[in-house]
Structure 1
Amino acid sequence: MRTSFKRLFACCALLLAPNAWALNLFACEPEYAALAQELAPEARIFSATTALQDPHQIQARPSLIAQMRRADLAICAGAELEVGWLPMLQMKANNPKVRDGLPGMFYAAEQVDTLDRLDSVSRDMGDVHAEGNPHLHFSPQRLLRVAQVLTERLAQLDPTNAEHYRANFDDFSARWLTAIPVWEAKAAPLHGQAVIAYHSSFRYLFDWLGVEQAGDLEPKPGLPPSTAHLAGLLALTEQQTIMAVVHAGYQDRRGAQWLAQRAELPVVRLPFSTGQEGIDSLFALYDAVLEPLLAHVGE
């Protein structure tokens, strides 16, 4: 009888304990799924995209609609990165929790000062973002600020577990702030180097490390490299010392290879997010993105 009572008491205590896994979290990009994993590891976390997908070009598939319908919180980059598919996903999911302006819809770009904001845009400028560059996950300080605000959003939506989320943030913050100077010291040889890169995908990484993006493989954002544009970049390599031609894993590498072959430059394929090639955390992502660049310093 006593043993049965203890078991009953344990079951009741478990049921009454704070449920850190109570929330369903929908991440538009894998980097924000990884951040959610740091803050709410017991939550049900779904990433709508992978590191090998262009986050601009996603279809509102039935599987994504079903996940969005169940979400208590959607976490997205924002700055119109998902404008081509997220509004359709929100409409078809018909989940009132994750509508714009409500606590269940979280945009990382709204929490920080983004780079390259524009006062106005026009169609002839290409695929530009008036609210700034959305790929801010390669800015360690901005990402920490996003994590801080996201923690409070989780606490707001799930107040029973508020202290759990805050404790997880404190742990993440301590480890992140310890890692930043280590990364910066390791990346010091990159300061002042110049690269040609695809799009502005690594804008924040280059800004942080003091790397100059001397040229863009796209003639305009969103447009594939043309022969004339590549010829112009080839002329640029004759005028300026370029360390490498850089592209992300999801980007077409043909233009990069054409230019690199003729300019006798290395092509560097950088991981763009978590979830590929054994990169299972934001810490691993930062480690993995530095190594390929450092391998070509001084060549």
Structure 2
Amino acid sequence: MAATLMWLVPLSSAQALDVFTCEPEWAALVKALAPDARVTSATHARQDPHHIEARPALISALRRAQLAVCTGASLEAGWLPVLQQRAGNASVQEGRAGMFYAASVVHLAHAHEHVDRSMGDVHAEGNPHLHLDPRRLKQVASALADRLARVDPANAAIYRDRHRAWATDWDRRIEAWEDKAGPLAGTAVVAQHTAFSYLWEWLGIEQVADLEPKPGLPPTPSHLRQVLQRVRDTPPAAVVQALYQDPQAGQWLVGQIGTPLLVLPATVTPDGPARTLEGLYDTLIDELLRAAAKPKP
């Protein structure tokens, strides 16, 4: 009961943290652990988080932040260092307590000892889209609660109690999601990029082809014809693209094979059913189940 009550205890506006997040999933997680924090997300669900502009508004938000929460693993390498340099905020520079990278506290899949440009947009540290595995997200939440407590020690007990309540609820949700998504095990999909790879791994879904010829490179007609040849005789349950990706390639392929095109959020959205982390998982699983239940063409 004490933890439940602590979950409801508000921080005063004078104590509220200013938090800058690189992606919406981390903004949602910060709000779950520190609901009174003033949170700015640099990107939204219709933006590719690899490539954004270092806008003045973002520089200003990072300049006043006491904590910055980003994915890391080079996902933001093209723009975050520019923001850090222009913001001039010592608290959120590399190695400081105010700079938190989610990828630094979990094991990443698909790490590479050697990377060069011929491989496409490959991250040597591993696939950075870790938030679509709720088990890894739970690890991040634990480390983030500790970091909140370190940055704002006056409210450390509140953050830790909120985290305990959140983690208990999250464990129940993981069990329910796994039970509900059981029929998806062994389902084949075609997708674009590795944005959903951790989701596939968690649910036992097999990505049989990628619309991109190499990670980060846009689909080409010749590559799409190769994908078509690979899946024509055994069509996947769905072709999956993220909200921020151009749907033309997926539309062409489903026009050839007759399976559904799922344009799914790869992160939480500003509104709608996927506006929270739990809603995001509910949405993804429900959409995949609907696609898998449709008769094969």
State the TM-score bracket (shorter-chain normalisation): over 0.9
What's the counterpart of residue 31 of structure 1? 25
What's the counterpart of residue 79 of structure 1? 73
Alignment-mate amino acid for residue 25 of structure 1: V
For 2:39 and 2:190, locate their aligned partners in 1 and report how far apart those are by CA, in whole Å: 35
Instruction: Provide structure 1 residue ranges, at least 5 long, that are not aligned to the other structure.
Output: 1-16
Match of 1:297, SS state, is: helix
| Contact kept in structure 1, 2:106 and 2:140, CA below 8 Å | yes
Alignment-mate amino acid for residue 243 of structure 1: A
| Contact kept in structure 1, 2:235 and 2:257, CA below 8 Å | no
Aligned pair 1:153/2:153, yes or no? Answer: no
Match of 1:296, SS state, is: helix
For 2:86 and 2:271, locate their aligned partners in 1 and report how far apart those are by CA, in whole Å: 33
User: What aligned pairs does 1:140-289 form with structure 2 within 5 A after superposition?
Assistant: 140-278=134-272, 279-289=274-284
User: What aligned pairs does 1:96-115 form with structure 2 within 5 A after superposition?
Assistant: 96-115=90-109
Aligned pair 1:52/2:46, yes or no? Answer: yes
Cα deviation, residue 291, structure 1? 1.1
Cα deviation, residue 21, structure 1? 4.1
Q: In terms of mean alpha carbon deviation, does 25-34 or 233-242 score higher?
A: 233-242
For 1:161 and 1:60, locate their aligned partners in 2 and report how far apart those are by CA, in whole Å: 32
Aligned CA RMSD, in angstroms, stands at 1.3
Structure label with greater radius of gyration: 1
Change in Cα spacing, 1:277 to 1:161, as seen in structure 2 (3 Å) is closer
Cα deviation, residue 18, structure 1? 7.0
For 1:129 and 1:123, locate their aligned partners in 2 and report how far apart those are by CA, in whole Å: 11
Cα deviation, residue 19, structure 1? 6.7
Cα deviation, residue 22, structure 1? 2.9
Cα deviation, residue 292, structure 1? 1.1
What's the counterpart of residue 122 of structure 1? 116
| Contact kept in structure 1, 2:235 and 2:259, CA below 8 Å | no
What's the counterpart of residue 296 of structure 1? 291
For 1:252 and 1:275, locate their aligned partners in 2 and report how far apart those are by CA, in whole Å: 18
Alignment-mate amino acid for residue 108 of structure 1: A
Q: Deviations over 1:14-70 (max 9, x none)?
A: xxx877843110010000000000111111111111111110110000000000000
For 1:111 and 1:20, locate their aligned partners in 2 and report how far apart those are by CA, in whole Å: 30
Change in Cα spacing, 1:238 to 1:258, as seen in structure 2 (3 Å) is same
Alignment-mate amino acid for residue 212 of structure 1: E
Match of 1:74, SS state, is: strand
For 1:280 and 1:200, locate their aligned partners in 2 and report how far apart those are by CA, in whole Å: 22
| Contact kept in structure 2, 1:24 and 1:44, CA below 8 Å | yes
Cα deviation, residue 281, structure 1? 1.1
| Contact kept in structure 2, 1:20 and 1:164, CA below 8 Å | no
| Contact kept in structure 2, 1:21 and 1:40, CA below 8 Å | no
Change in Cα spacing, 1:68 to 1:246, as seen in structure 2 (3 Å) is same
Instruction: Provide structure 2 residue ranges, at least 5 long, that are not aligned to the other structure.
Output: 1-10
Q: Percent identity?
A: 50
**Alignment coverage as a number of residue pairs:** 283
- TM-score, normalised to structure 1's length? 0.92
Alignment-mate amino acid for residue 217 of structure 2: L
